[in-house]
């Protein structure tokens, strides 16, 4: 089952990469650019065929894929001068930007289909009013909160209120709430605020009081409860709303985690790796391992399907956002270069001078190489950490 999880993730990753390349390919064809190759994988060619002026094929190493669009930049030679009008660099700036953004857009489409499809079929896991656990003390970080560990001996607000596992909270500050409304109400309450909880315990209805504290990683309140979960199928509009919430959560979380990664490098190889936000950043090996653990876990099939699909959706959102950073050699860096070209052309027109043309990529090669080496450096560190000190589910 663990190997099945690895296979599922690696297949999903290959599919995502080819979807990315398909986005570039389809839009380039749409605008009349010449695409000479569309291949799955790298290395020696196993099979290929020509359709029009494009060679389609499969290579031996299934670690991605690529599309060849002629004349991508000033250093890209075009074999036949007659093809120059169909080169990427000869097209209007807006068309080139659309082609470059199409890859990331396809990742977002895939994430949308996965999340909305999951919501409308299997359903989304939501918290109920019934408590599955009550934290004994206050967590100091989001990682501690997720792992159920403590950062101080101070009792949690839930513990101070006298809440117990099995209790059902029916109202928060006198307002009836369901499971989702309860968690939203807690996080929307300012830390330090006194709150009143209406609780059903067996045949009894109790009124309990406590004061919320700071929620780790946010400005919201923290009560210290775990809610039992159930799967709920929302309306189509609700499913779209779920995707919006999921998208923002993953995007903001990714930014926070990547930003914290440099400082967390020493923790990547320590026993408390999972206790830091940056330490939870994983390579594709780590994510594949997490998928394998999820598939092999002794839980219901719905939980497995939800975890795997949301994980794949989260990876695609991260790739889409990361790829659009204005750094070469990422697509976002090429978009930034085109925008700079048009800014230079606008200033040239104002001064009555000719368009300076394409950005000279030779001047950008040192910067491209430096950025590439930094990305490789961090990728290799995280990869090694995932091999020798993986972040395990439930750690």
Mean pLDDT of 302-308: 92
Q: How far apart are CA 217 and CA 219, in angstroms?
A: 7
Q: Retrieve residue 141's tokens.
A: 């970080």
Q: Where are the domains of the chain?
A: 97-123+234-395, 124-232
Is a pLDDT exceeding 70 seen at residue 121?
Answer: yes
What are 317-348's pLDDT values in tens digits? Answer: 999 999 999 988 899 999 999 999 999 999 99
Q: Which long-range contacts (CB under 8 A, 24 or more apart) does 149-158 make?
A: 149/275, 154/213, 156/213, 156/222, 156/223, 156/224, 157/210, 157/211, 157/212, 157/213, 157/222, 157/223, 157/224, 158/131, 158/134, 158/210, 158/223, 158/224, 158/225
Determine if residue 41 is left, alpha or beta; phi over 0 gives left, psi from -120 to 50 gives alpha, anything else beta: left
Instruction: State which CATH number among 2.30.42.10, 3.30.70.100, 2.40.128.20, 3.40.630.30 fits the domain covering 124-232.
Output: 2.30.42.10
Catalytic annotation, pick one of 21, 289, 306, 341: 21
**Residue 330 carries which DSSP code?**
S
Give CA angle at 308 (62, 268), nearest 5°. Answer: 80
Mean pLDDT of 30-35: 96
**For 126-140, 186-200, 202-216, 352-366, which range has the lowest pLDDT when averaged over its residues?**
126-140
* Angle at which helices 236-264 and 361-388 cross, to 10°: 90
Q: How far apart are CA 135 and CA 210, in angstroms?
A: 14
Residue reference for tokens 């940056």:
278
Q: State yes or no: is 21 an active-site residue.
A: yes
For residue 95, the number of C-alpha atoms closer than 13 Å in the C-beta half-sphere is 17
Residue 3's pLDDT is: 83
Q: How far apart are CA 168 and CA 160, in angstroms?
A: 17
What are 124-156's pLDDT values in tens digits? Answer: 888 888 998 888 887 666 556 555 566 666 788
Residue 216's pLDDT is: 60
Residue 12's pLDDT is: 92
Cis peptide before 296 (omega within 30 of 0): no
Give CA angle at 171 (166, 177), nearest 5°. Answer: 95
Residue 276's pLDDT is: 63
Buried residues in 295-307 as b, exposed as e (16+ CB within 10 A): bebeeeeeebbbb
Is a pLDDT exceeding 90 seen at residue 208?
Answer: yes
Residue 215's pLDDT is: 67
Task: Tell me if 42 sits within 8 A of 66, measured CB to CB.
Answer: yes
Sign of the dihedral defined by the CA atoms of residues 247, 252, 255, 257, in that order: negative
Record the pTM: 0.81
Residue reference for tokens 């330490």:
279
What are 78-111's pLDDT values in tens digits? Answer: 889 999 999 999 999 999 999 999 999 999 999 9
């Amino acid at each position: 089952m663990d190997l099945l999880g690895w296979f599922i993730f690696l297949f999903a990753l290959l599919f995502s990469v080819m979807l990315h390349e398909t986005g570039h390919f389809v839009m380039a064809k749409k605008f009349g650019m010449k695409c000479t190759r569309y291949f799955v994988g790298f290395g020696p060619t196993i099979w290929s065929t020509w359709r029009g002026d494009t060679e389609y094929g499969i290579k031996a190493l299934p670690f991605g894929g690529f599309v060849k669009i002629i004349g991508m930049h000033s250093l890209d030679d075009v074999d036949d001068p007659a093809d120059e009008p169909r080169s990427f660099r000869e097209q209007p700036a807006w068309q080139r930007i659309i082609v470059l953004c199409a890859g990331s857009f396809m990742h977002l489409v895939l994430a949308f289909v996965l999340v909305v499809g999951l919501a409308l079929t299997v359903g989304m896991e939501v918290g109920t009013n019934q408590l599955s656990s009550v934290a004994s003390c206050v967590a100091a970080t989001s990682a501690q909160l997720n792992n159920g560990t403590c950062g101080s001996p101070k009792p949690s607000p839930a513990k101070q209120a006298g809440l117990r596992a099995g209790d059902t909270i029916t109202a928060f500050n006198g307002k009836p709430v369901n499971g989702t409304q309860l968690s939203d109400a807690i996080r929307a309450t300012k830390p330090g605020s006194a709150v009143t909880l209406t609780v059903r315990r067996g045949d009894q209805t109790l009124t309990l009081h406590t004061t919320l504290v700071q929620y780790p990683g946010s400005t919201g309140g923290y009560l210290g409860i775990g809610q039992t979960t159930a799967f709920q199928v929302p309306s189509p509009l609700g499913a779209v709303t779920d995707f919006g919430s999921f998208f923002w959560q993953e995007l903001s979380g990714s930014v926070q985690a990547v930003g914290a990664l440099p400082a967390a490098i020493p923790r990547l190889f320590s026993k408390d790796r999972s206790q830091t936000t940056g330490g939870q950043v994983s390579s594709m090996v780590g994510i594949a391992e997490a998928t394998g653990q999820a598939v092999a876990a002794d839980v219901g099939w719905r939980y497995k399907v939800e975890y795997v699909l949301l994980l794949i959706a989260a990876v695609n959102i991260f790739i889409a956002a990361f790829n659009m950073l204005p750094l070469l050699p990422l697509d976002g860096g090429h978009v930034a270069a085109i925008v700079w070209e048009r800014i230079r052309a606008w200033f040239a027109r104002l001064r009555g001078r000719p368009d300076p043309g394409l950005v000279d990529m030779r001047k950008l090669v040192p910067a491209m190489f430096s950025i590439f080496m930094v990305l490789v450096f961090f990728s290799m560190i995280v990869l090694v950490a995932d091999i020798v000190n993986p972040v395990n589910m439930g750690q």
